[in-house]
């Protein structure tokens, strides 16, 4: 009876608490700041589950001169548990990694000269493909006993970018050119001169007549004249030079093994020119060149628009998973070329372990984690320095910009950075503006573009009961957005009739009924280190930059004191740093220290402990009274128990 009455009282308490605080629960805690280390974990998890299998599916079968036939059963790959755990890897100066295996079916064809027939020998064996360093729970790697991280990289997204040539003499006709950037492969440029002649060029090749190149890739001369409305004289060029260069370009840009636009590059090309090419076709097609030439000719008639390279819709983030995937692709290409060069002797016994040498994959991983500019030693001065180092991204590195030649346009603040990249926190010196931090609420979508949250506004009322929407910079351009610090009435209606609105990268005044979105919080425009500064709106921007950088240099104290003035970001920092014990269940705190937290949970009626040890012995012999205002007293008595909880850290 006592147990049933206790359960009834607890249920009554929870129901009353829920209905009396419904407004507080649904409206105040609907949006939480995301996990600050989710960027690393999400990208690394996506690489292991999806990208790893997809890359092996490209080379699922290799045939070597009709003698060696290899088939990879890539869907059955297996990762083994690490030999050393995290603590042992640091103490023994080892790498915290995992070996991954894949089953391979090999079929070798030999010609028997005595009996004059073919004999096939088939073998199935698990082969060690390579060793992959693993990401820890705190978002870093352990390489040879040292803690390292791979920071994210921001660079131009694959696709086509159209520019206007800057000329000193304004009386001359303007020249336009289009740069085609790929995910893997050579760089290509198509340009038009003042006589409306199109040229195609690369870094290694000189200018080639564009119309002659179209003829060599399959278009007829009559079709080119009718499509571009040009004369026959414009097509006649020197054939020897153009044919030689076009043969080189055909092997370079139409070969899927050496050139790839990527899914993002193909998607952007289709959207820009309204093409219906399949997203699975990652190489260039003749229709792409036809659309590029037509777009450049339309620019001479004042039709079309130019691209802003600093706009965040044209720049994407290469996360840890993308960087590891890039190295894995290079390793697989080297391995494939190595297998093609293997020679099989007539009567010698074949050993698959000696034949399939996956050392190029391990060397490709080593180039990233040891020799890359993006792989750095983790800054462990304090928890803030550790967390901000992991949320940083750089424009340097392979495929990025050069620090010596980078100008003010790349280093400056673009209007699309608003809500996505912190305008304050950046290093001082040569890396100023090239190394930045993402804001507190920024997320990275599957394509690598930055998103920031907004709440929907319907008929000048804020829709707090709906989840916030994460918008990219491209989608945000055509929307009317208002800041969150405007006056709002009790029923969430906007008070003022005319408000300053962010529209088309500028602040303008619009009527309330035309507004589409409102920002979630005033903290979504600055980074974590900047949000720790109290009353930052009263500081000069240069002083705030110094303050955000100097906080990372503070040494932790032995005897701690609670600050008199703090911000909400301090709580988020402690929760996401993973350096203190955190109770993952709600309830009443019985005991807490810097090593463990004892919590009594209402919902599950059991003692929950969180402690940094492998085995915990708990002895309970207490009577606990809970009292809530306006509710009946709830008295529970815990009998003597002896329990052992085993917690895996």
| Inside any domain, residue 227 | yes
In tens, the pLDDT along 381-400 reads 999 999 999 999 999 988 88
Tokens of 623: 């009577």
pLDDT in the model for residue 630: 39
pLDDT in the model for residue 612: 38
Number of domains into which the chain is organized: 4
Q: Count of CB atoms within 10 A of residue 614's CB?
A: 9
Tokens of 256: 């899927």
In tens, the pLDDT along 567-620 reads 888 888 888 887 888 877 777 788 888 788 887 765 544 444 444 333 333 333
The residue ranges of the chain whose pLDDT is under 70 are 1-31, 60, 63-68, 108-121, 167-174, 205, 230-251, 340-355, 601-649
State the Cα–Cα distance between residues 235 and 198, nearest whole angstrom: 10
Q: Count of CB atoms within 10 A of residue 404's CB?
A: 6
Do 408 and 347 fall into the same domain?
Answer: no
pLDDT in the model for residue 451: 94
pLDDT in the model for residue 133: 94
Provide the whole-model pTM: 0.81
In which domain, by residue range, is 339 found? 38-152+317-376
Beta pairing partners, 63? 69
Q: Of 316, 337, 365, which residue sits at a domain end?
A: 316
State the Cα–Cα distance between residues 530 and 551, nearest whole angstrom: 9
pLDDT in the model for residue 392: 93
Do 283 and 225 fall into the same domain?
Answer: yes
Q: Of 477, 509, 538, which residue sits at a domain end?
A: 538
Domain containing residue 353: CATH number:
3.90.1100.10
| Inside any domain, residue 571 | no
Do 177 and 304 fall into the same domain?
Answer: yes
Helices vs strands, H then E, count in the chain: 19, 32
| Inside any domain, residue 549 | no
State the Cα–Cα distance between residues 400 and 391, nearest whole angstrom: 18
Do 372 and 401 fall into the same domain?
Answer: no
Dihedral (CA of 411, 417, 421, 425) sign: positive
Asked if 501 and 482 touch (Cβ cutoff 8 Å), the reply is: yes
Do 482 and 337 fall into the same domain?
Answer: no
Asked if 360 and 119 touch (Cβ cutoff 8 Å), the reply is: no
């Amino acid at each position: 009876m006592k147990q049933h009455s206790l359960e009834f009282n607890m249920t009554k308490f929870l129901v009353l608490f829920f209905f009396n605080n419904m407004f507080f629960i649904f409206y105040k805690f609907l949006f939480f700041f995301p996990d600050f280390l989710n960027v690393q974990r999400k990208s690394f998890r996506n690489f292991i589950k999806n990208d790893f299998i997809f890359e092996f599916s490209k080379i699922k079968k290799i045939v070597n001169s009709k003698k060696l036939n290899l088939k990879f059963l890539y869907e059955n790959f297996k990762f083994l548990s690490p030999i050393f755990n995290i603590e042992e890897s640091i103490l023994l100066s080892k790498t915290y990694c995992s070996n991954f295996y894949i089953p391979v079916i090999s079929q070798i064809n030999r010609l028997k000269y005595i009996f004059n027939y073919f004999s096939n020998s088939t073998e199935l064996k698990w082969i060690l493909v390579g060793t992959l360093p693993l990401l820890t729970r705190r978002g870093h790697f352990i390489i040879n006993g040292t803690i390292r991280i791979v920071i994210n990289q921001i660079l131009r997204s694959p696709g086509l970018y159209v520019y206007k040539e800057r000329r000193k003499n304004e009386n001359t006709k303007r020249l336009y050119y289009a740069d085609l950037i790929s995910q893997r492969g050579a760089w290509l440029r198509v340009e038009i001169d003042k006589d409306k002649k199109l040229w195609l060029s690369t870094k290694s090749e000189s200018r080639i007549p564009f119309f002659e190149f179209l003829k060599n890739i399959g278009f007829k001369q009559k079709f080119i004249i009718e499509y571009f409305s040009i004369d026959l004289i414009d097509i006649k060029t020197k054939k020897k030079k153009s044919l030689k260069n076009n043969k080189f370009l055909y092997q370079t840009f139409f070969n899927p093994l050496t050139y790839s636009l990527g899914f993002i590059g193909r998607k952007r090309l289709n959207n820009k020119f309204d093409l219906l090419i399949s997203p699975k076709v990652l190489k260039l097609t003749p229709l792409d060149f036809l659309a590029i030439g037509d777009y450049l000719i339309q620019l001479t008639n004042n039709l079309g628009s130019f691209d802003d390279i600093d706009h965040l819709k044209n720049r994407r983030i290469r996360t840890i998973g993308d960087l590891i995937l890039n190295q894995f692709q290079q390793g697989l290409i080297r391995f494939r070329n190595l297998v093609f060069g293997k020679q099989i002797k007539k009567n010698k016994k074949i050993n698959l372990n000696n034949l399939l040498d996956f050392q190029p994959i391990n060397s490709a991983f080593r180039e990233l984690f040891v020799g890359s500019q993006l792989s750095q030693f983790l800054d462990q001065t304090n928890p803030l320095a550790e967390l901000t180092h992991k949320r940083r991204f750089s424009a340097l590195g392979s495929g990025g910009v050069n620090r010596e030649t980078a100008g003010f346009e790349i280093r400056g603040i673009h209007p699309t950075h608003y809500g996505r990249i912190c305008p304050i926190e950046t290093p001082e010196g040569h890396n100023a503006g090239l190394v930045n931090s993402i804001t507190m609420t920024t997320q990275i979508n599957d394509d690598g573009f930055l998103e920031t949250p907004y709440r929907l506004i319907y008929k000048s009322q804020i829709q707090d009961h709906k989840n916030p929407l994460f918008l990219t910079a491209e989608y945000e351009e055509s929307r009317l957005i208002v800041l969150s610090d405007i006056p709002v009435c009790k029923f969430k209606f906007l008070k003022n009739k005319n408000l300053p609105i962010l529209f088309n990268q500028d602040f303008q005044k619009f009527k309330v009924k035309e507004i589409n979105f409102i920002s979630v919080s005033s903290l979504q425009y600055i980074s974590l280190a900047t949000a720790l500064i109290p009353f930052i709106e009263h500081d000069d921007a240069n002083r705030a930059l110094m303050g955000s950088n100097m906080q990372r240099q503070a040494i932790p104290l032995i005897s701690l004191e609670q600050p008199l003035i703090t911000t909400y970001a301090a709580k988020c920092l402690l929760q996401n740093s993973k350096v203190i014990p955190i109770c993952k269940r709600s309830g009443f705190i019985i005991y807490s220290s810097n090593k463990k937290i004892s919590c009594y949970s209402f919902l599950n009626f059991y003692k929950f402990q969180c402690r940094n040890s492998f085995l915990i012995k708990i002895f309970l012999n207490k009577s606990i009274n809970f009292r809530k205002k306006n509710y009946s007293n709830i008295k529970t008595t815990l009998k003597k128990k002896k329990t052992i909880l085993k917690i895996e850290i």
